[in-house]
């Protein structure tokens, strides 16, 4: 099966924008925390929201699925997952001496399965790095994943 990677990318981008519209932003309680404390607070908050975000995103990728109701914190972490998924899409299509840099998903997966993999399973593999990146970026005022 040929995948429409461009459409998958547009879907993930639109989802990120929708999450931001729903108020996805860092918790105001984290403002002023030292970088190390910021990372810890973000990791704890994400761990508390992870299963709910998994369920919300699994429902979203189903045919005729919707995003459902999200709290601002859930919207923030779902938006961050979208940015991570978009990053992974870029890695999937990068090559080094004609070899992929990242394992390719099975060719027979549907677009819904690919989206679920990008937004849920991929996040499980990469969340620690992304949370550290986001916390560092926000604490330095760089704006990545800042809502």
- Over residues 23-55, the pLDDT tens digits come to 888 888 887 888 788 889 999 999 999 999 999
| Domain encompassing residue 128 | 5-139
Give the span between the Cα atoms of 69 and 67, in whole angstroms. 7
Q: Is 15 exposed, middle or buried (0-12, 13-18, 19+ CB in 10 A)?
A: buried
Task: Report the helix count and the strand count for the chain, using DSSP H and E.
Answer: 5, 2
Domain count, the chain: 1
Tell me the C-alpha to C-alpha distance, in Å, between residue 96 and each of 71, 104, 105. Answer: 41, 14, 18
* 144 domain-assigned: no
* 85 occurs within a structural domain: yes
pLDDT score recorded for residue 10: 93
Question: pTM of the prediction?
Answer: 0.87
Count the Cβ atoms, other than its own, within 10 Å of residue 1: 10
Identify whether 100 is part of a domain: yes
């Amino acid at each position: 099966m040929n995948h429409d990677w461009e459409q998958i990318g547009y879907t993930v981008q639109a989802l990120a924008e929708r999450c931001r519209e729903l108020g996805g932003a860092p918790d105001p309680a984290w403002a002023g925390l030292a970088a190390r404390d910021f990372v810890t607070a973000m990791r704890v908050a994400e761990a508390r929201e992870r299963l709910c975000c998994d369920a919300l995103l699994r429902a979203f990728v189903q045919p005729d699925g919707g995003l459902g109701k999200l709290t601002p914190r859930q919207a923030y972490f779902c938006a961050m997952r979208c940015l991570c998924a978009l990053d992974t899409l870029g890695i999937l299509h990068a090559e080094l001496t004609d070899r992929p840099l990242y394992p390719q998903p099975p060719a027979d997966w549907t677009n819904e399965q690919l989206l679920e993999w990008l937004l849920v399973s991929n996040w499980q593999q990469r969340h620690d790095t992304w949370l550290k990146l986001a916390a560092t970026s926000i604490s330095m005022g760089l704006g990545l994943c800042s809502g």
